[in-house]
Structure 1
Amino acid sequence: MTEFRTARLTRLSLTGFRNYETLSLGLAAKLVAFVGANGAGKTNILEAISFLTAGRGLRRATLADIARKEGDGSWSVAATVLLDGLETRIGTGLATGGTGRKVRIDGEDVRGSESLLDYMRVLWLVPSMDGLFTGAASERRRFLDRLTLAIDPAHGRRVSDFENALRQRNRLLDQGGSDAFLSALELQVAELGTAVSIARGDTVGLLSGMIAEQAAQGLPFPHAGIALEGAFEAETLGLSASDREDHYRLLLKEGRPRDRAAGRTLNGPHLSDLKVTHAAKSMPAAQSSTGEQKALLIGLVLAHAELTSKVSGMTPVLLLDEVAAHLDPDRRAALFAKLNSLGGQVFMTGTDEGLFSALPEDAQVFEIRDHHGHLLKGPTGP
């Protein structure tokens, strides 16, 4: 994938972040693994990297909860990113007594974390996602929105505005708002909701095509069938964007009595679901074995990484927490070979250095202990 732009972290620094008073790592490899005992802080490093892009990080933690317990309430993550042959310093964090996340690029404050998408696209797979197919639909919507954000930087703001408009409508219904105010707000809900649904649908369509392409590569991971399902999508199938908006606006108006009684909006894209199947078995992913579900997730993330490269022109940084623990040696070797071929930088964690014995010679392996990173293998960073 050398035809795509590739962002590479060459240095990562944490201050007051989770269990780290300070941590500084020189990074000189495409594939990087962090090994160490449970609780050493391996996942915290991945979480720190996940804040170098738009969104709330891989744990979706509140900003205050991230700060080191023994600290002053502040925290920061800073990195040097090499992109297009140029180094850029990016950083984010929370000031002491602050409530909002700060973002800086080359020492200058910028507004909003969306600006970080110009320098890095970050995707992740963490153990908490292992129950994605059996859990609540809201988790799958959030997963799909993360996938969409990587290829459509405006999607995060679009979803946030849609959810905010829905909350305002619910509040207005509860307070007995006037017809004029409700109609104006429902117009906004319809426009935003339709845009969210279309963006999600586009992502599902593109990702389905990429999965089909990967099916010919012989990877030892099952291929997923994916679809966006919901009453709104079924009712508006084949309609233009403007006709979808009109249909949704009418649904909202006619549904006011029911929604007022329920205390929430009972129709719309906020209730849609990402349906995933084990394609070879024509079986819902939720009914597959635990191992098959994990393998399906890995296949989805690999396909999405390739899709992100093609659509955005930038190869994403991947964060894979405990990804190798439940794979046999052959699948681990195949995974590492595929990750290496993607061209982007990949950060992985595991409790045992032996899990990463099949990594290429130029990979870096750090042992995380005593709140520091000790290089075990690979080139020394800058």
Structure 2
Amino acid sequence: MLSLLAARRSGCDEPLRVRRAESTRRVLNLELNSDRDVERIHGSGINSLDIDPVEQKFMLSGGSDGVIAIYDLENATKKLQYTCKAICTVGRFHGREHKFSVETVQWYPCDTGMFTSSSFDKTLKIWDTNRLLPAEIFSFEGTVYCHHMSPIAMNHCLIAVGTKIPKVQLCDLKSGSCAHILQGHRGEILSVKWSPRHEHILVSASADSKVRIWDVRNASGSLIVLDQHNGEIAKSSSESANTAHNGRVNGLCFTSDGLHLLTIGTDDRMRLWNSSTGKNTLVNYGRVCNGSRKNLKFTVSNGCSPDFAFVPVGSCIAVYDIYTGQLLTELRGHYSHVNCCTFQTYFQELYSGGSDVNILAWIPDLARIDVENDDPKGCEVRTSQNAIFQDEWSSSDDEN
């Protein structure tokens, strides 16, 4: 890090590289923060979390009890120990609340004046944040598992919705109606994600083991069906062709630049795909245990080099290097299954929610330095550091 700062000061390096190095250092030092609590509001498991993309200050949570809460993450007290308070809730006696489990919550990408929520009660609700009243309600025939709004769209206001019915439904906020239906899956739609790079590109994952990439301007069908074998499987083989996983696919997440797509299935595998060509990059993450029957909400870092994936695995959060597949660490603190996590980009913080009704804050501990003594006599003391921050320089003395 010192060499990067020196290079930046002398004008030999660009500011972005220094920022990425610091962001990476912070992520690699994430740990459960004992000084920051999140007020307990929900009476049962937390299913979904989302931090507003504008100020990175307010966090939404949706629970199995049908409750939605909005938290202020800013430390207004300026004290070391503080609790993130819920500034408002949509609870059981609100009158317009969801009747069953809230599965997905998401802020409107442009400001915090609106947010969306979907539930097992077969509805998607568009909320006015200031009044805490639904401005629009979309009803569906089947149970709603997930929904997603494009983070970059300028030419449309579509919300993609995945339900028990094997069709991706697109709801238009401008007209207040279901604008379009994408057909091709043969099982319930467990996850949908818009590309952060192209506003008309949508990805859907289903219980039929398939992941489809759509251009919503094209009515003829999906552009690409992801194939875990990259087309190399023989036609006479008993294995199914054009399947992304050997089980239900219930997790999708784009990398921050939109160039790659991560998928997770109930076959206990996570795969990395080239989002342009649909090719499996064949990165081996090992076994990623996934016993969830619903949408598994995992997330990725932003502004780091390399990027990291934060994946709920049982009662912990596994942190992977996206491009090598290396398991870097496991964040432990929940007492039961972790259902969701969300990344705070400005300060490289992580928030997670689980079936233990807790929302935990994982904060970079920059004071933590691991010291290893390689010499039993204590003559040398070496400070261990990640290879990312080591100088790419050697001398003839080191080689001898």
TM-score range relative to shorter protein: 0.3 to 0.5
TM-score (norm 1): 0.34
More helix by share: 1
More strand by share: 2
